[in-house]
Structure 1
């Protein structure tokens, strides 16, 4: 027996030594990759910062900065600020020590963020000689034995357990056994048995395999191997050099997080409509991460993703849910929930704020009613639509949203605004969430663009643009915007009873209080934030004139049947040539070739469905790739609904 214990201890010591040797070599190989990638990432970051204007430092400077003095010295990019010492910046007229310190500190923080976000690509033609140390370091991992990951995992177990097991097992050696208590001897024999199991385990046997890591080779041989299979090298580089990568339809989430999201269960039994792949991913992301900001571009189905997450939570025996939204979107939320799932929905009206769920279900409340709701404990999920409207910390609305976000385990903040252009709003949204959900987000990444911010905030922020999920989208997406009358609009509508034409235009008769006009401006604002073009149609010239006054200068048109042909052509040409966002107003009866539009807005439903279809066809069929989003502004309970339902205006 003594020889048996001694042999187990000796073999376990040999196994522990082999494990430590493998882990050391494995660590050095990975460290060599990270060290070789460092200079390349620094250079890539500096190159990126040469295209970032110095004014982007205002979001991270930590105080006011006089950018006029900096621009006057022809320092136009962040890279130029970084290359200037604080002492050099102080020589500029109007720049004191505080401003110089803020500028240089902000530039350094942005450089750190740029290094983290920098993508690495190793050039073959021409060969990127600066990447030679990286290619040589990667060779050892790319050419490692297939069993290396399993051997590494076994080595970690041996490193963690064997030393303590050997210490306890020594208690039952012949010389020490007589001095130990019965319980210590029992623990010692258990340790011997566990060591024997490890020694006989096929996984730990891998530690005795020779050449688990690839050999060290000359640079030329490593380059030849890279040229044969660059994809293998890039895969290892992404894994060990922490290069942020990801799938577009998954919001460029890191691979390990995306895998966990895909593995998250999602029960769709209460849904009445199927989910597209990216929508199911968004619902799973919300369920896994619990408190999230869903920032998909308008038209990708944020409402459906929120309802899907709620429906899953309902199957987990939670019964009460709350949706907060702008007042003009309450009716649409109620209609969509009824269409998307079988859970009962309760509209909570602003004039009756004390009403709440008596039998469970989804309550939909306007922002104004939110502070006065008696929210029951154990809320299953809290959803905030247009959440960027709740970031003013001085308002009762914002403080109520923050309180409910921190009291509720599952939260979804929905916004279609790209947050890299609205850093202040993004900071406000993060402020709604508990510190543990938001503290890791560094806002410096916003200056580097949408993708960098998405990668940096991946644990809490998911955004997809249309181009990210283009393969899953239909050609045309129709959205009915249910917009109730304002008081003035209701009065005009009632006075026009019997005059169908006047009734259809009543919603725009009082522009200052018009709910339709307000929603139209919101849709145009979202399109502007996302850099897409908009066409606004109406069959009434005076409605288009009102819309033009509301949208202001820069709006093209309105193009009506009375507009001369040359002016029509000029308006269309300017709209087509515009880079990024532009808005064109047109009578629906006018035939125009409208290239490049992504959003179509009808100020009112059209009595002739074919006329509406032809107008959409002129936009969708004009050679634009991607999806066209069509919004129809409807007032519930009016002639709009009858026309939309095909019942005519009578």
Structure 2
């Protein structure tokens, strides 16, 4: 967590460059003669190095217990808080012989008071021993029930001393865990080499010792000092050990760790899940895979030496699954960290001998991929996009690393024909659901020459089993051959069994027990004179798109019911310290929103905005003192970008496909979010909005049923044909209805 690349121990002026070979393996050359002062300095440095090595191999164990104790205390406080309003009378229902009146008379009126007091203090207060034992027993039973139902979450509250201690303990544990994974081999080598050389090296540390030591032992002493000097010179764990030691002795101030928690809460929960059971559904984390596949996945090692992040249990499983199955689709619901799991796979492969990794993704997330790779691993990210893509491609071909490019650029790159990536990752893989397109053919070409292939898609297929079959065909044609493209509702179970070897999906509510709740509100308004007139004109003209934008077709914001409500929602959110994302499909609506919000907003983020500038807009929203609202076109900002800084999402109009809204919400309601997410939909009664909600509602429910159920997980969006109405048929139906309702000619 927050790793700083180590610079190593400073080399002593009296030491020379040498290797890390054991003296027994070294060539028979006269050992260097060390001056006593220089030898003593080397021994002091070697002892410090040994202490650092031992710290890095053991500190995480002690800190693990610190986390466990802090978690237990925090959880206990919350259980007691949950019982604070429960009267002591409730205990009588559990112990019929309990004399509750005696407790009340002694001043114990709440269950929490009985729990805190315990048997001894109740007796000391004049309550009989039998009554005290019955009361405490009943109170603990009730507390156990509350504890079992408690959904533990770390709320950002610097004034909560228990939560602050827990976050501080997690911070230190994260440093120690990260350092241990990074330096374990070096620490073990130091622990093996240094202790055996310290005593033999002593004769070289003083003239008196030399005079009292036989010649052969003097020579061995100088050789031992040289070996220790080699260890000191090559050390790379010093800075990390210093950081761990500081965190163990004196955790950072609460304000500092809370700020770090808000920025990287997903990693904190990952650390906590390594220490305590957060109630994760392990079967859901395994995606309901067949037992034999689960056994192979669990047996797969995961080298984390190049990784700088703590993985959740389900993320480790997903990374191992991709390694074992080799060519798969990771279809986790949006917000579960598919990118992080992909980086873990890449880090493992590079650490175990791989050299080249290729990532193919939409242009909107190229910058995000580069940032994520560099932030969470020691891998080198190379962007093959833009005017210098050919030079970057040549550099990647020669030096290796993680190349990030787009579907459009992939086929234009001049790369060696014999280049075989250890891993090719295809993000938003549903972009290549048609293998006959140019992008589909290019992806297949690289998939065929790659050792492993990982497709990522939170919604692998929106509507058709046939298209999902095409995606599986890139990876495991023998599995795709078993799929019936005409499978409907009755074929869903068989479908899910077949795709199990090539498809893994988990849902947020199954594996993220700490995810804040999402509150969805439909903000129904009524047209006023001006926006109502604009709507009637659009209906009369038979213009479906104008109908959808009519609520914003005003010159004065006060004449738009939606803009008035939007301003109220934004004001309330900003006053409460929240950040907001406003989504619309239409550029004209985005312009109106920008004019309304002024300096409060950054944007609009549209498809015309260059990729680096899109990320800059997201960064601006996250920056202290920056704008409070990001205004975005839903087709541009609703895919790929992570905006956990925002906890309020506003849709200016309903979308034609339910999945478009789901993708957009997931930009904020995802792992790493620390606040309850509010989703507001601006809607006008008796308008195209209401008709769309009515027509799409049933389709969304059907999609939801199958998108969240799967034998391999609880969701497979492609497990059944869900024929969402096309925009053409939808517009025709709604337009006819509205023209009839308003008495206009159909």
Q: Tell me, yes or no, whether TM beats 0.5.
A: no
Where on the TM-score scale, by shorter chain, does this alignment land: which range? Answer: 0.3 to 0.5
